[in-house]
Structure 1
Amino acid sequence: MSELPKGWVACTPSDLANDPKNEIVDGPFGSNLKASEYTDEGTPIVRIQNVKRMAFLDKNIKYVTDEKAEFLKRHSFKSGDLLITKLGEPLGLTCIAPEHLNEGIIVADIVRFRPNPEVNRKCLAYLLNSEKAIKQINEHTKGSTRSRINLSVVRNLDISLPPLAEQKRIVEKLDEVLAQVDTIKARLDSIPNLLKRFRQSVLASAVSGKLTEEWRGEVESVDSPYSVDWKWPKVPLSWEVKQYPELVDSRLGKMLDKAKNQGVSTKYLGNINVRWFEFDLKSVQEILVSETEQQELQLVKGDVLICEGGEPGRCAVWRSNSGEQIIFQKALHRARVMDEMIPEWLAFNLKNDADGLTLNQLFTGTTIKHLTGKALKRYPIRVPPLEEQKEIVRLVEQYFVFADTIEAQVKKAQAKVDNLTQSILAKAFRGELVSQDPNDESADKLLERIAKAREEAEALAKAAKKEQAAKKRAAKATK
């Protein structure tokens, strides 16, 4: 164990409570607090979804009657208490109960920690959220399906307590520095949404002809009969507008029926394998297929697979030219484009219309949506000359590569920022974030006062117990 800074002391949460058995407690067993007993008003219930690191989420707060709360008062909390999760992923999230709740009841998956009033509670919350505490918690997890820890783990965590005056300085510095980290994180978190809108804007410009205005030169644009329903701007006169069946040879795939299928075991792609513009081939399944079906349903380079359900319209271009035998299931349309259109152009149009929600007008079903072959026959597509299609695809892919590069850099930056918070907390509780003051009262003096308060509390409890026993004996003697 590394040497502690001068004035610091090694201790446990139990050392910081006047009465650990009553001030570091978990919630009631499920038999004592059932979800069916939740009400719309009364005493608030805090659950694990309300507790984050240094943040209380005031959403979906449940309640129990005041009578039930009185019955469970041992498991109550007050504003300012520390709330710690002992179930879930990740474990050991710690926050401070907010002032506006005043008091309430914790569920079985939460520990309520009420330290001695002299301890700086925010400093203690930061300390319990630091990597040192988290590592100890992770070393004592139990459970095969959901990780959990026992109450004793929280009570006996090995923590390093700074002097009281230094606790305050640490909190002030952490509040300042971590606020800056949160600002950076919020800005980084906003970038993926900006990139999403950027990609949508690129596609909208691509399928409307704006992306190649200069390349095409001065060509008049006119309204199309589909402009209102499909929210199209004017269409360049050099472009055509055709229906899906005029441009695509389309069919659904293989019905998955193990009881009826016969033939050779063959790989097939399902709805879950098709992402926007790419395939997820990590979990490709196999099914028995006849020789005729193999020939009819074999994928070739340039085929576009379109989801019939799930997220109707989601599609990707099959780019493999390996010759490997692979087919597709009935939940997918295989669109094999004709000479007037390249496959990427079809994919761009479907994505643009899905983003703009205009593709929805082709969907059937109220709860579960489908894009049937019959509906696809009514799908109109603006068709530029082939050379312009190729130029548009080149430009879109160029812009998308640019967006992908930024996205990758943002993910790296987000990972660094996430690690930065723990690095700052580690530095704080090594005694390196703020300066030590030799005039600070040592933390062991604080522990001595807490220990004395604990002894006094125990003495009072014993005296009260004796007095109660004496009253019972006196009452019994008078009968």
Structure 2
Amino acid sequence: MSSYYEKILATGEVKCIDEEVPFEIPASWSWARLTHVTYLIEDCPHSTAKDEGKGYPLVRTPNIGFGFLQLNGVHRVSEKVYNQRNVRAVPQKDDLIFAREAPAGNIAVIQNEKVCLGQRTVLLRPITDCILPQYLAYYVLAPSSQQNLVEKSSGTTVAHVNLSDFRPYLIAVPPIDEQKQIVNKLIELLSLIDKYNCYGDKLAKLNNEIYTLLKKSILQEAIQGKLVPQIIEDGTAYELLEQIKAEKQNLVKEGKLKKSALATSVIFRGDDNRYYEKIGKKCV
């Protein structure tokens, strides 16, 4: 296998980077540093802006989803705060916002939203003639990138990606037309995965519920006399209840049971097919 080398243009130094290259790429692809395929990589202001309830969306790490911004319930700030937070760079269409922590590793492409950066975020502006924003987002979200950027990141309590590790991160760059094909295929497949996930959730819910539903259904069948066949030769429950009544009366006479233990009513079905209860001489 051929080795990979990097030439430092400023000094002419050449060094082997085999240990840094995470996988092999097709011959028509090239490796490049993230700084080489972007116009800027700008850190956010290291402060927390107050939610003013209206105005411009303030993109915090919870708003950075899997390639897309999630602006439902987003915090909002005034134009003054918007301008203050964008003094280094104004986020624009096709820029990307990367979450450095909480959770680290997510990245989203700005569509047409006019936003400003919340804390723990980074703004990237790709050179779109070289690399597509959507391709770059999917590349950062790929397992190997997440492992290299996030799992090896610093932070004692929470994962934290340092800009010193992020700026020189290696990017596998395909030809631009192939990037378009990759992005279109990913959109198609990820949509199918989302559908599968939805059906999977429904199936999991059904599997969780069916155990309880089956128990309830079988119990209901049982207490309605539908679970096993009725055998005439076994007698009737009326005869059984009469037998119990007689046994209780004997136990009362023997002083082994209190008189209150005797049945105080009789339930029966009348000739009109309705149910009646006889309490003493009264029948309802």
Q: Deviations over 1:34-84 (max 9, x none)?
A: 3xx211111110111111222332221111110111111126422322121
* 2:71 corresponds to: 58
Structure of higher RCO (CA pairs closer than 8 Å, 6+ residues apart): 1
Is the 2:65–2:107 contact (alpha carbons within 8 Å) kept by the matching residues of 1?
Answer: yes
Q: Shift in Å at residue 96 of structure 1?
A: 1.2
Distance 2:63 2:202 in 1: 23
Is the 1:81–1:97 contact (alpha carbons within 8 Å) kept by the matching residues of 2?
Answer: yes
Instruction: Say if 2:174 is the partner of 1:162.
Output: yes
Is the 1:205–1:211 contact (alpha carbons within 8 Å) kept by the matching residues of 2?
Answer: no
Pick closer, same or farther for the CA change 1:75–1:108 going to 2, 3 Å. farther
In percent, how many aligned pairs have the same letter? 21
| Letter matched to residue 29 of structure 1 | H
User: 1:39 is matched with which residue: 52, 65, 77?
Assistant: 52
* 1:179 corresponds to: 191
* 2:100 corresponds to: 86
SS at match of 1:208: helix
Is the 2:57–2:71 contact (alpha carbons within 8 Å) kept by the matching residues of 1?
Answer: no
* 2:216 corresponds to: 204
Distance 1:173 1:48 in 2: 27
* 2:138 corresponds to: 126
SS at match of 2:115: strand
* 1:104 corresponds to: 115
SS at match of 2:172: strand
Task: Give the 5 Å matches for 1:3-22.
Answer: 3-18=24-39
Pick closer, same or farther for the CA change 1:208–1:110 going to 2, 3 Å. same
Task: Indicate the structure (1 or 2) with the bigger Cα radius of gyration.
Answer: 2
Structure 2 residues without counterparts, runs of 5 or longer: 1-17, 232-236, 239-284
* 1:69 corresponds to: 82
SS at match of 1:201: helix
Of Structure 1 and Structure 2, the greater helix share is in 1
Is the 2:68–2:110 contact (alpha carbons within 8 Å) kept by the matching residues of 1?
Answer: no
| Letter matched to residue 88 of structure 1 | A
Pick closer, same or farther for the CA change 1:209–1:189 going to 2, 3 Å. same
Is the 1:87–1:146 contact (alpha carbons within 8 Å) kept by the matching residues of 2?
Answer: yes
Task: Give the 5 Å matches for 1:186-265.
Answer: 186-209=198-221, 213-217=225-229
Distance 1:14 1:127 in 2: 15
User: 1:25 is matched with which residue: 42, 67, 72?
Assistant: 42
What TM-score, normalized to structure 1? 0.41
Q: Shift in Å at residue 212 of structure 1?
A: 7.4
Is the 1:24–1:113 contact (alpha carbons within 8 Å) kept by the matching residues of 2?
Answer: yes
What TM-score, normalized to structure 2? 0.66
Pick closer, same or farther for the CA change 1:202–1:39 going to 2, 3 Å. same
Is the 1:86–1:149 contact (alpha carbons within 8 Å) kept by the matching residues of 2?
Answer: yes
Distance 1:114 1:43 in 2: 20
RMSD, matched Cα: 2.5
* 1:433 corresponds to: none
Q: Deviations over 1:421-476 (max 9, x none)?
A: xxxxxxxxxxxxxxxxxxxxxxxxxxxxxxxxxxxxxxxxxxxxxxxxxxxxxxxx
* 1:144 corresponds to: 156
| Letter matched to residue 82 of structure 2 | A
Task: Give the 5 Å matches for 1:60-459.
Answer: 60-73=73-86, 74=88, 76-89=90-103, 91-99=104-112, 101=113, 103-118=114-129, 119-209=131-221, 213-217=225-229
Pick closer, same or farther for the CA change 1:212–1:55 going to 2, 3 Å. farther
